[in-house]
Amino acid sequence: MAPPFSQPHIEPSPKRVRVLFGGKYVVDTKQAKLVWLKPNYPYYFFDAADVPTEFLQQASKSAESENYDLVVGARKAENAVTKYLQGDLAGLVQITMGAVDAWFEEDEQVFVHPKDPYKRVDVLQSSRHVRIVVNGVEVANTTKPRLLFETSLPVRTYIPKTDCHMDLLKPTDLTTQCPYKGVANYYSVALSTGQVFDNIVWWYRVPLPECADIKGYVAFYDEKVDTYFDGVLQARPGQK
């Protein structure tokens, strides 16, 4: 069965899944479930038998669920574990992804959420002429973009730094993570007028293998800049 499907949608994962917290694998199973609670991406759920009770301290209980703190030695992640008691999820346990130290699919670390088996990411070299303009000022101009196509999301344009006005790009401390691309660093655009547009540019210093071709290239939030493809101003994502 392929999307779209109604939520919650539950299907078995063929991968070994491990959850690391406080120096111990609090879950190590080949029976994990992928559960879609919303259309965008799945979460991992586990059979209760695959989550050792020695690491759980009950925090609260309702008719629908039991909530637990995850405890390993002196480490505690409060309300990080939910066991469902009713409905389609009855008997399944969810651990908050960001509450633990690391998640692994087989021996590869995953971030943010499990990779969606129905989602594809492709990076294609292009010769389109792309210009990026911020408040009337050109900040990038290239005929060597790489276009990233990700299922159900807007196409993102990655531009060589050598084709950007790097004097206008100021590094920031912001980082974000993507399960398909890796850890992103950010720039703000600072114009000579004194205007600063915070964190509207990102790039991947060491992208994950499936997106290796965007290494060192930068992308601009198309929602916040003017993007021209072959001389034609593009509608910003979300605009008609």
Asked whether residue 92 falls in the same domain as residue 185, the answer is no
CA 45/CA 95 separation, integer angstroms: 7
What DSSP line would sit under 227-240, residue for residue?
EEETTEEPPPTT--
- Quick: pLDDT tens for 115-139: 899 989 999 999 999 999 999 999 9
The domain tally of the chain equals 2
Asked whether residue 51 falls in the same domain as residue 151, the answer is no
CA 55/CA 35 separation, integer angstroms: 23
Asked whether residue 217 falls in the same domain as residue 132, the answer is yes
Which of 110, 145, 162 represents a domain boundary (last residue)?
A: 110
Asked whether residue 94 falls in the same domain as residue 138, the answer is no
238 assigned to some structural domain: no
Asked whether residue 77 falls in the same domain as residue 137, the answer is no
Q: Residue 138: beta bridge partners? A: 133
Asked whether residue 70 falls in the same domain as residue 140, the answer is no
Asked whether residue 42 falls in the same domain as residue 83, the answer is yes
Residues above pLDDT 90, as percent of the chain: 88
Asked whether residue 100 falls in the same domain as residue 148, the answer is no
Domain, as residue range, for 20:
9-110
User: Which single residue is written with the structure tokens 């790097």?
Assistant: 166
Residues above pLDDT 70, as percent of the chain: 98
Tokens of 24: 């111990």
- Quick: pLDDT tens for 90-114: 999 999 999 999 999 999 899 999 9
4 assigned to some structural domain: no
List Cβ neighbours of 187 (8 Å cut-off, separation of 6 or more): 169, 170, 171, 172, 199, 200, 201, 202, 203, 218
CA 185/CA 64 separation, integer angstroms: 40
Whether 1 shows a pLDDT value over 60: the answer reads no
Whether 239 shows a pLDDT value over 70: the answer reads no
pTM, two decimal places: 0.81
CA 230/CA 129 separation, integer angstroms: 5
Contact 20, 103 (CB under 8 A): yes
163 assigned to some structural domain: yes
Asked whether residue 15 falls in the same domain as residue 99, the answer is yes
The pLDDT of residue 93 is: 98
Nearest in space to 61 (alpha carbons), one of 88, 98, 86? 86
> Residue 102: how many CB atoms within 10 A of its CB?
12
Nearest in space to 182 (alpha carbons), one of 218, 146, 222, 212? 212
CA 87/CA 158 separation, integer angstroms: 44
Asked whether residue 225 falls in the same domain as residue 135, the answer is yes
- Quick: pLDDT tens for 22-49: 999 999 999 999 999 988 899 999 999 9
- Quick: pLDDT tens for 153-189: 889 999 999 999 999 999 999 999 999 999 999 999 9
Average pLDDT score over residue span 72-89: 96
197 assigned to some structural domain: yes
Asked whether residue 25 falls in the same domain as residue 81, the answer is yes
Nearest in space to 62 (alpha carbons), one of 42, 84, 78, 90? 84
106 assigned to some structural domain: yes
Which of 69, 88, 110 represents a domain boundary (last residue)?
A: 110
Nearest in space to 82 (alpha carbons), one of 71, 93, 98, 69? 93
**Which three-class secondary structure state does DSSP give residue 167?**
helix
Average pLDDT score over residue span 47-71: 96
Asked whether residue 134 falls in the same domain as residue 201, the answer is yes
Which of 80, 110, 140 represents a domain boundary (last residue)?
A: 110
Q: What are phi and psi of 102, to 5 degrees?
A: -165, 150
CATH number for the domain spanning 137: value is 2.170.150.40
